[in-house]
Amino acid sequence: MMIMVAGPYSAGTAEQRQSNLDAMNCAAAQVFARGHIPVVGVNAALPVALQPGVADFRKAIMDISLALAERCDAVLLLGESPGANMERDIIREKGGAVYLHVEDIPLAE
């Protein structure tokens, strides 16, 4: 499965944002170890959102992350935030699984 790893990214400080991103990347490695392809929307979006010509950082992050969610089979929800909840809802509406713990994700065959 392609599994989106979703959780809060935005925070009051750069250190908190990095800690949130690190948590998603650590979980993504665990998803991969279970035999699935992890997707972290923020990882795909940041290289674009940080470019000088991008006027709306948040819009770039959300547009890219939500487009990726459309293509995922399931989501691992690490914590709630407006963006993570939207990713979850997209996957849930498609009938995809919502996992709250890495251990709940079945091993790939």
How does pLDDT run across 50-79, given as a tens digit for each residue?
Answer: 999 999 999 999 999 999 999 999 999 999
**What pLDDT sits at residue 90?**
97
> Where in the chain are the domains?
2-104
**What pLDDT sits at residue 82?**
94
User: Side chain identity at 18, as an amino acid letter?
Assistant: Q
The CATH code that applies to domain 2-104 is 3.40.50.10400
Angle between helix axes 41-49 and 57-69 (nearest 10 degrees) is: 150
Contact 72, 95 (CB under 8 A): no
Residue 24, CA distances (Å) to 20, 41, 44, 51, 84 in order: 6, 10, 13, 22, 11
The predicted model scores a pTM of 0.93
Q: Which residues contact 80 (CB under 8 A, 6 or more apart)?
A: 8
Q: Which residues contact 107 (CB under 8 A, 6 or more apart)?
A: 34, 35
For residue 91 the two structure tokens come to: 């996957």
Q: Count Cβ atoms within 10 A of the Cβ of residue 87 and give its class: 0-12 exposed, 13-18 middle, 19 or more buried.
A: buried
